[in-house]
Structure 1
Amino acid sequence: MNYENLDLFGAPFDLVETYVYYQGPLTFALRSRDIPDLYYFVNTVDEDEDQGTRSTLAVGVSGERFRAVRGGLVPFREVFTEANWNRLSLITWRWSDDHGSMRAEISSMRGSDLPERWLPTERALLDLPTDTVERYEADYLVALSAAQRRTIFAIEVESAGDHTTQFPAKQAGELQVALHKEIEALARKHSATAQVLQDMQPAVIGLKAASFVLIFAIDSRDRMLEPTEITFQVFDDLNGMLRAAAEPDKSELISRLQGGGSRVRNRFVDLLKPLTEVGSGVTLWTAKALSQAVEATTVTAQQVREAARAIAQVKPQEDTIEVRRGALVGLNTRTNRFEITDLATADRFAGYMTEGAAADANGLKVGDESFVTATILSVTQFTGDESDRMQYRLERIAPFVAASPV
C-alpha cells in the first residue's frame, strides 16, 4: 500500500510517525512534501479478508491542529468527527487483478456520517510530548543581544506531566518575580548605588518554546549603555550558583549562598520554590552584551529538589556568648523579651528568653546600674531572615556578684 503517492491534496507525502503497527502501519501521520503545514492522520478502520479489502480514513489538518492532537489537547476521535467534507477521505484498498499489488479507491466523507465502530473511543488521546508553539533556538539570543547591544537571557522550564508547551501561570509569575529579585540582590552585592540597581531591571521581551522559555533583557533606561561591569558579575554569580546546584555534592552551593548574604540566599530559595511545585528543571541561557556567545546552565528537576532540600537542611549557626558583667537595661516577663549591654565590650543584645531564664530574671531590677551575668545564645538563620542580623536568646541570667578582694 503506497501512501506516499495517494491521490490526496498535498501529495506526495512523507510518513511522519506511526502510532499503531501490526504487519505494517495501521495508525500513523503523513506530511505533505510541498505544503509543510499540511498533515494527515490516517487510521485503519476495517479489513475484509474475503473481499480482500482494507478501509482507512485520512483526515487533513494544519500544523497547529496536528500538534494539538499529538500533544493530547484534542481527543483523537474529534479529528474525524469534526472533519469537513473536503478534509476527510475514505481510502479503500483492493487487490489488483493480478494480486500483485493493492490499488486505492478514494472518496470524500463527512465526519458526521462515520459509523460508530470506525471511530476511536471518546477517551483516546495521543498525548505525546509536543512543541505546540514556535521552537526556541539559542542563536536567537546571540543575534538579539548583538542587535540591541545589551544582555539577553532566558529561563527554560517545563511542567511535569504536560506534553504540550505550557507552564502554570501562578508558578511562572513567581519565577519571574524571584528571578528579578535575585538579580537585584546580586547587583546589591557588587554595587549598592541606587543608579546601578535602577539600571539592572530585567524586562520580559518574549516567549519561545523548546519546552517553555521566557526571554528577558536588562533594561537600562537611564543610560546609553548597560552597566556591564555589574551585569557580568551578576550573571557569573547566578550561573555559578545554578552549576553548584547541579552538582551531587551541594557544599559549593551552600558556600556560595553563605557568601552572598541573606537576600541572595532567600531569593535563590524563592527561585527554586515554583520549580519544585511543578516538578520542573531549569536552564538559564545568557547572551552577555557584546559577547557574541550564549552560555547555558542546566539544573534538572531532580537536582532542583535536591538543592532545595539541601538548603532547607542547613542548620542555623549558633554561638554562645558569656556576659561576665552587663547591665539589664530592658525586661518584659510577659513577652519574655530582654535587653542587656555587655559593659566590657559595649555590645547590645536583645531578644527572647527561655522559660528558665525568664524565671531567673523575674524580680531583677532594670537600669544602667542593674548589673548581671548572663549566657546568651546567638542564632544566625541561613534563610528566612532578610536582615543578616543575629538573633539572641537568653539562656541564663543572675545578679552580678563582684569578686571578693584578695
Structure 2
Amino acid sequence: MFELPNGTILGVLDLQMTLEYFDFPRIFTCKNSTNQAYLVLSTFDDEDSCGWLYLPISPKRLNATLCGAVTLRDAFREPEGGYLFTVETFVGRAPVVTHVFPEQLSDSDLPSVGYTLNVAVSGDESDGVLTPKTVAKVYRRETFDYRIFPDEHTRHEVSARKLGTILSTTQELIDALGQTRLGTPTVRGPLPPELLQKTSVTVSHSFRGSFGVQFRASQPNDLFDHSLISDVLAEFSYLLQAADSEDLLSNKLHALKGRVASKYRRLLKQLFDINSGLSFDWGAVASDRGGEFSLSREQVRRAYMIVDRIDIAMADEIEVRGQLVGFNSRTKRYEIRATEGPTNYAGKVADDAKISVEHPAIGDFYIARLRMLVETQSSSGDELIRWVLVGLNEA
C-alpha cells in the first residue's frame, strides 16, 4: 500500500502532484510542513517493501524539470544542495531514510538519458499555478477553471456574498447532475451522503485576469480514467453549449429531470444579478473529454429567462379555489387565500399565465392553477417552496 514516509527527517509530508502512475504513484512531488518540496522517483517494489529517491528541490528548479528544461536524470544527478535521500518503506515497519550523494546512485535507479517530463506551467512560475488540463493529468482529478466577468480582464474583485452563492450553487448543480447520472433523479429531499462524496469539488485557488477560481474533484479517477464527476462535467458542458437556445435547453433539461433545471436556473440567476458571463475551462483526465465553454452576459440573461420558463413548465401543478387578496399586473405578483384551510399562496405570475379575467378584483373568488417550484439544499434537504401562478379563472 502506498504511504508517504512521515515521521522521518524529511518532515511531515503532503502529496502534491502525481506525475506518473502505475498501480501507485511512481514519480510525484510532495512537500513538508516547512514548505520544502521533494521530487520523488520509485526505484523498486515487491510485496513487502518499496524503494524511492527523494530529491530536495526549489520551486524554480522543479518548474524547469516539470516543463522539460531539465531532464529527470540530470535533476537527480545534479541536486541543488549536493545531496538527496534514499527511502525504503515497509509493510508494518518504520521507513528507513538515508542521506546520499549523487555519485553513490546506481545508473539502474535513474531514468534513461534524455527522459523529460512535459508538464506545462502557466502564469507566474513562482506561484506554480497549472492549467486545468495539466492539473487533471498530474493529480488524476477532474479540474476546471471558472471565470466570472470573463470579458473584464482588469476586474479582480467580486462581492463575497454573491461569489459564495455562485460557488455553492455550482456544487449543488453538480450534485443534482450526479444524481441524474445514477438514474435516480428526485425533486425534493436531501441527497445520499455517498453521492455527495463522489460529486464533491474543492476550490484550490483564485487567479487574476477577470475573476476566476479553480475547482478540483475531491476524489481521483479510477484506473480507466473514469469517475462520476467526469460524466457530470460532460453534462454541465452540454448545458453551456446549449447556450440560449430554447429548443436545446428544453430538450436537455427535460431529459435530465430531477432538480437540475432549478439548480441551473439559480446559477444563471446569480450571474444575471451581477451582470456577468461565465467561462468554463474543463481539464479532464480522459484525453477524449474536456474543453473550453462560455456564455456571454447576454446569453446568460436570455438563458435565465428560458430556463425559468422551463422550470415552471416542468413543475407539479395544483388547483386552488380561494379569495384573491393581492394582485399586481405590473410587478406580476399575486396572493390568494384558499377557501379550505388557513393556507395563503403568494408569489409571482408566470409570463405566459392564462388569466381569463380581464381585471382580477381583490376580494373576489377564483380558481387558481399554481405550479410548485422546490429549491432544495443538497446536503441538509432544507427546502424553499415557491408557488407560481399559471392560470386564473372565475370560481
**TM bucket, shorter chain:** 0.3 to 0.5
Larger radius of gyration: 1
Q: TM-score, normalised by structure 2?
A: 0.45
Q: TM-score, normalised by structure 1?
A: 0.44
Higher relative contact order (CA 8 A, sep 6+): 2
